[in-house]
Structure 1
Amino acid sequence: MPLHRATPDTDLPLTIRPQLARPGAESTVPRLRLPDGELPADAAYQLVHDELLLDGQARLNLATFVTTWMEPHARKLMDECLDKNMIDKDEYPQTAELERRCVNILASLWGAEHEDGATGCSTTGSSEACMLGGLALKWRWRERRRAAGLSAERPNLVMGANVQVCWEKFCRYWDVEPRLVPVSADVPHLTAAAAVEHCDEHTIGVVAVLGSTYDGSFEPVAEIAAALDQLQATSGLDVQIHVDAASGGFVAPFLDPELVWDFRLPRVQSINSSGHKYGLVYPGVGWAVWRDKAALPEDLIFEVDYLGGRMPTFALNFSRGGAPVVAQYYELIRLGREGFRRVQQESRDTATWLAGEIATLEPFRLLSDGSELPVFAFALRPDVAGYTVYDVSEALRFRGWIVPAYPMPPAIEDLAVLRVCVRNGFSHDLASLLLDDLRHAVSKVEALAGHLPVPTADTRAGFHH
């Protein structure tokens, strides 16, 4: 089955506006075949532009963690770098230098000591960075097992069932058993006791998530590390940690500096984060950083000759745009520590205020309140009948809001929730407008209660972790 599903009008041609069509030329364009001739630039632009009107408004998309607003100066820098290929470090040495600076800045921000330079790289996003972190864990575990004369078969990775799907992809692609620890409605993320319970001699590492995509909560990284310390003391098992800080890596250092989750914990070997989430950059850029050179196996580093220069590379992708990396450096030096604190505090304040207001609405109960990531989830109270969170989500779309409705992780998937992700650019004023529209959406679905179709897997609003 193709990934892109067919629609009833799949084979109908696209029609060019009469004002833009050349006299005597074709007035339509095939959808799924290459046109025989050329189109005027303005006609091609208008065709694509008009179709994209059907996309949701990015600023009103409260499903995404991804940045939807940047300053004009940052956009200008990105425009100036759109033609630069990040892999061509010999041709674009200064872009490579800005990447190096970013890695060192983030390593310092996350508590790594790196007198001889930090170890890390930019990626296309956190998913690629997670793959790199997982590979390093697997390679190091395999090296230790082989050095001890033990079998390096059947590796496993311990993580909560609430992890982002990229971790399941990592396990499938690199032949690692995913040990998905069940979560509960009371604690919908990984705990220290549960993590240790699922570890054995074949465990390559534990993934701790700093900012769950389900509800915005921080997993207790320090508690997990302490439990693994105790495990090593009693059993000899040395299990390392990778922190998936896709969102929290650009929030916790500024708003919760007392929270110990990073390289200050000796058991944390690697961290990933998304520059295009709370790093305040348009997609796509992520970051993978290791605590030191020893944490990144040499077998994962390739020395390649590429367009006149010899360079080390350990990202999965080769060609990719340099613009987001340049934009990341801009944001780091533009805002500095205090600027990031101010921006992220504004987002958290907006999230906690909005969550508090929603908690006062009769049909809802909060699962989280936005006090960690500026993200919160809420569900219908158990006594509410006649409609679902999927109906509320659909009603909000009439006003342009994209508020996702989805089931919680396995073991608590019977609980369906709505989630709001507050990002830079989502102001208190916009939050007030959302609150008004949420009240209206509730009154609308309550008036139709009992007459709405029961949502199925095909009719639910699409959303994937």
Structure 2
Amino acid sequence: MLHHPPEDARERDKPLAVNPFFGEADPLDGMREAPPRHRLPREPMAPHPAYQLVHDELMLDGNARLNLATFVTTWMEPQAGVLMSECLDKNMIDKDEYPRTAELERRCVAMLADLWHAPDARDAMGCSTTGSSEACMLAGMALKRRWTRKNKDRYPGGARPNLVMGINVQVCWEKFCDFWEVEARQVPMEGERYHLSPEAAVELCDENTIGVVGILGSTFDGSYEPIADLCAALDAFQERTGLDIPVHVDGASGGMIAPFLDPDVVWDFRLPRVASINTSGHKYGLVYPGVGWALWRDKAALPEELVFRVNYLGGELPTFALNFSRPGAQVVAQYYTFLRLGFEGYRAVQQSSRDVARGLAERIEAMGDFRMLTRGDELPVLAFTTTPDVTAYDVFDVSRRLRERGWLVPAYTFPKNREDLSVLRIVCRNGFSSDLADLLLGDLEDLLPALRAQPHPVTHSRERATAFHH
């Protein structure tokens, strides 16, 4: 998010409020004057008052554990926190200086390649990123470069590459298309279909299509897109036209759910048309924010000219990233979590989240005021709206009233062709226990009588509701 300087000069010049208790015993170490808000202080400050000023301001943030809008991990074990603090000063890009951190990254890539059924996990190409957004950018770059290789006679001489996706994709895909000059061709929602349709996707494909993006876990409702059906439709398309169009699977969330809870769902490198996959280590990978993963099925799927070679212990280590300097802490935390939980540990954690989501869906539906769109049967996410006979309030009223009690439950309107549909969404993740779910349900039940007594939905609730978060 871009932040602009404050317009009001009075706000700009207003100093921070200082509690006299923040001063140190030695007056020279204390604060001689209140520090400004938007200019560097003239003099240094002692550590304790500096910490207390920042700490107190952050108290106004929401409670991350009660943020049911975000997919991002909000709890890790203390041991993981210790490891992360020990690695905050390690720059991931410096493979020569921190070879063991680099080795842990390579092990994580191999583990994910094996989990996602790469033809040869040792041959799969992959890297850590700052999150799924960067991973998607890298995957999109590889798709475009592979397309331009095959179309040197037509590009850039007028042919414009395009990328096909559902309108429910995360905004990073729209950014990719804008930044890298690719036409975004989006399949709109229709009726009760809230994500991409294989048939509709194929209709948008042509000789300029660099790839199709399938979403394993839509952020709008938590549903899986039919990746296997999409690949089958593209296989038939190739038989008719000769056009071989690869698929990238955006598994930001589902890539760390389906392998453990839905092993019979075929969506990964078992499908030959799947060229690359990304996931967020900091979502259902169970690591604090700051790590994602991008993998390609083999070396042929990632154009060699995009890979930079770094000297590493007398050899070469391939690197592929948009960011340069970044801490190794999150990668180390990912390796710790893989070691700590193993396959069965991940399965147990993800099953617990799904159980909480399903239980919530059942009890919310039983209230009689809400219609469920999804029930946590794929991602541990439930999306729901009000029933047609509820006219006194809408989902934005519910979101606003829950926020008054500390819960962040987003209310938002669906995109093109279903702008008439507004929903609430609850993301269940590790740390959101059945006990917390009971508290949420209790607050919702307490609020319903007052909401039902309203003469009509509150007109300004739409503006004050929690924004939609990916």
Which of residues 25, 34, 38 in structure 1 aligns to 2:40?
A: 34
The CA distance in 1 between the partners of 2:261 and 2:158, in whole Å, is 41
Q: Does 1:392 align with 2:392?
A: no
What is the CA–CA distance in structure 2 between the aligned matches of 1:462 and 1:252, rounded to whole Å? 27
Q: Shift of the alpha carbon at 1:422? A: 0.3
In structure 1, list runs of 5 or more residues that go unmatched: none
Alignment of 1:84-163 (within 5 A): 84-114=90-120, 116-146=122-152, 153-163=159-169
Moved more, 293-302 or 224-233: 293-302
Distance 1:311 1:115, change over 3 A: closer
Alignment of 1:257-296 (within 5 A): 257-296=263-302
Q: Secondary structure at the match of 2:401?
A: helix
Q: Which amino acid aligns with 1:459?
A: R
Percent identical: 61
Q: Does 1:331 align with 2:333?
A: no
Partner of 1:462: 467
Alpha-carbon separation, structure 2, partners of 1:152 and 1:302: 29
- Cα offset for 1:13? 1.4
Confirm whether residue 206 of structure 1 aligns to residue 212 of structure 2: yes
Which letter does structure 1 place at the counterpart of 2:266?
A: V
Q: CA RMSD in A?
A: 2.2
Give SS of 1:13's match. Answer: coil
Q: In the TM superposition, what are the counterparts of 1:56-455 in structure 2 within 5 Å? A: 56-114=62-120, 116-146=122-152, 153-304=159-310, 311-450=317-456, 452-455=458-461
Deviation at 1:464, TM superposition (A): 4.1
Residues 48-72 of structure 1, C-alpha deviations (whole Å, 9 max, x = no match): 1111111110111100000011111
- Given that 1:17 and 1:43 are in contact with CA atoms closer than 8 Å, whether structure 2 keeps it comes out as no
Letter in 1 for 2:468: F
- 2:11 — aligned with what? 10
Shift of residue 116, structure 1, vs aligned partner: 4.3
- CA distance in 1 between partners of 2:190 and 2:6 (Å): 38
Change (3 A) 1:221 1:191: same
Q: Which runs of 5+ in 2 are unaligned?
A: none
Change (3 A) 1:66 1:88: same
Deviations 1:55-110 (A, max 9, x none): 11011110000001111111111111111111111011000000000000000100
Q: What CA distance in whole angstroms lies between the structure 2 residues aligned with 1:301 and 1:446? A: 59
SS of aligned partner of 1:178:
strand
Separation in 2, partners of 1:83, 1:150: 43
The whole-number CA distance in structure 2 between the counterparts of 1:109 and 1:273 is: 12
Which has the higher mean CA deviation after the structures are superposed, 163-172 or 401-410?
A: 401-410
Bigger mean CA deviation after superposition, 278-287 or 312-321: 312-321
Q: TM-score w.r.t. structure 2 length?
A: 0.94
| Superposed counterparts of 1:41-52, under 5 Å | 41-52=47-58
Q: In the TM superposition, what is the alpha-carbon distance from 1:461 to its structure 2 partner?
A: 2.6
Equivalent-residue separation in structure 2 for 1:48 and 1:448 (angstroms): 41
Change (3 A) 1:306 1:407: farther
Q: Provide, for residues 111-150 of structure 1, a one-character-per-residue CA deviation record: whole Å limited to 9, x for no partner.
A: 1022644310000000000001111111101111227999
Distance change in 2, residues 1:313/1:162 (3 Å): same
What TM-score comes out, normalization by structure 1 length? 0.95
Paired residue total: 464
- Report the Cα offset of residue 391 of structure 1: 1.2
> For the residues of structure 2 that align with 1:2 and 1:371, how far apart are their CA atoms?
36
- How far apart, CA to CA, are the structure 2 residues paired with 1:39 and 1:254? 50
CA distance in 2, matches of 1:239, 1:395: 47
Q: Distance in 2 between matches of 1:419 and 1:308?
A: 51
